Structure 1
């Protein structure tokens, strides 16, 4: 079992991977038992050779996508503490020892490398990314009642328990959103650590699709809110249908009936009843799924205990 596993997902990062690996080796010399893993995701340049020559353990994930890479890393690597950092040399490796100490000595489950509270908005040259980061942070902190300062950062530290109980469902860059919400909803201890950020060096190309990845992130937020807060989600749908049906019912059916004593708009009455039925179904669906979610929370606590016991066995 490694003392510290530094996980670096990489795809066509020949320009920066060697520097990142050597910088990580330099700052982790004092942490005995550190292993640097570079997980290559079908790179077509010299990323693999450069990473291996720099001193990293190189492994491969052939299913394309950052989420697929992280699933592979979390499944294969056993360590007391994990630090995940991007291969593009935009994050300061000097923060690794402090992030390691927070997990190792203070029992933190996830340390979030917070770019947005430092230099991100000055260094990042893509304005829509700035807006997107702010929108996603505000949306998640509002919906999930948390205070994570940087939802989409790729610089994080994790405990063994987090890594071995986190179900990776996303395949792309929305994985960071999934991590943040999972930690919050499972009441795991999360801390923010302000880090400096520098933009990619000239000639290094970002793999992010501003609009495509942005829409996938928003879709992930919506799906996770539905999964973690089903009663609130379906209750809101139920409320909308009830209000809409009552307004339509009153205007198109009740008012004419009060004046003439006749139901002049029978199709409208039928539609109104259908809307009310949908509202009732949504309400009870939310109640049932809320009970299922409560059971999932209890099962997760048992999974945490199992992960802790496994960690003790591996340590011995």
Structure 2
């Protein structure tokens, strides 16, 4: 088992991967560096291989797929996850790892937003998007994570081995945050510097499409992790619609003794029925979710003992 495993998922990072490897070799000489190439069409794989680090290929496209394979194949006391685009200085790595190795943190986020991100990042929609996503997750899941979409994280083995990676792409950061908040893992924020990509190095992210995918993931996970609140909100919305449609019909009936708008009354009735069904689904799924959480905690205890045995 490695003391520190530096995990670098890469896709077409030939311009920057050498600098990233050199920096982390210098700052974390005790760390084992793993580069997982995700179908790069440039020389990323060859450059990393020549640099003398452990290099593997992941054929399934997407960062989520790469991280899933990394967590499955690598055993370490601390996992340091960093992008291969040379935007995260290696000088902050030891501070992140210290929170896991010495202070018992399960997930440590490298907080760019409190330091240089807004001055260095040249894509204004990314700035506002980061703030929106951070506020949504912290509001829905009662958290205080400073930087939701950071690619610079230190993770405990308990977190990495229990993390059910379901997303295939860039949404993996969102998924990790929500998993950590929902399962009550110990989360720490460490301020880190950020620098924009060097000239000629292009981002793989699309501001609009990837932003929409992240927001979609938040609401999907909100439904999965908070079903009672999700379906109760939907039931409340349907109830309001039913009342808005139904009240005029009942007022007419009390005034004239006739139901003059039968289709409207039927629509209001179906809306109210749908509201009751959604509320029932919320209660049922909430009960199942609590049972799943209980099973997860029991399995987490077993996993913790296995990891301790592996470290002994």
TM over 0.5: yes
CA deviation after TM superposition for structure 1 residue 258, in Å: 1.2
Q: Does 2:263 align with 1:267?
A: yes
The answer to whether the 8 A contact 1:21-1:55 is kept is no
Corresponding residue SS for 2:272: helix
Q: Aligned runs of 1:57-206 on 2, under 5 Å? A: 57-206=54-203
Q: Pick which of 48-57 and 220-229 moved more.
A: 48-57
Alignment-derived partner of residue 24 in structure 1: 24
Q: Pick which of 107-116 and 264-273 moved more.
A: 264-273
Please provide the CA RMSD for this pair.
0.9
> 296, 302, 311: which one pairs with 2:292?
296
How many Å separate the matches in 1 of 2:117 and 2:60? 30
> 264, 269, 275: which one pairs with 1:279?
275
Q: Pick which of 217-226 and 238-247 moved more.
A: 238-247
Q: Aligned runs of 1:217-236 on 2, under 5 Å? A: 217-236=214-233
How many Å separate the matches in 1 of 2:233 and 2:98? 43
Q: Does 2:290 align with 1:306?
A: no
Question: What are the superposed Cα offsets for residues 150-195 of structure 1, whole Å, 9 maximum, x if unpaired?
Answer: 0000000000000000000111111101111110110000000000
Corresponding residue SS for 1:177: helix
Alignment-derived partner of residue 4 in structure 2: 4
- Structure 1: gaps spanning 5 or more residues: none
Corresponding residue SS for 2:102: helix
Q: Pick which of 229-238 and 240-249 moved more.
A: 240-249
CA deviation after TM superposition for structure 1 residue 303, in Å: 2.1
Corresponding residue SS for 1:106: coil
Question: What are the superposed Cα offsets for residues 16-71 of structure 1, whole Å, 9 maximum, x if unpaired?
Answer: 10110111011112x3xx21000000111111111122121001100000011001
TM-score, length-scaled by structure 2: 0.98
Question: What are the superposed Cα offsets for residues 235-267 of structure 1, whole Å, 9 maximum, x if unpaired?
Answer: 01111111111121111x111111111111111
How many Å separate the matches in 2 of 1:52 and 1:98? 27
Question: What are the superposed Cα offsets for residues 66-95 of structure 1, whole Å, 9 maximum, x if unpaired?
Answer: 011001101110111100000000001111
How many Å separate the matches in 2 of 1:124 and 1:235? 39
How many Å separate the matches in 2 of 1:232 and 1:20? 43
Aligned residues: 312
TM-score, length-scaled by structure 1: 0.97
The answer to whether the 8 A contact 1:37-1:58 is kept is yes
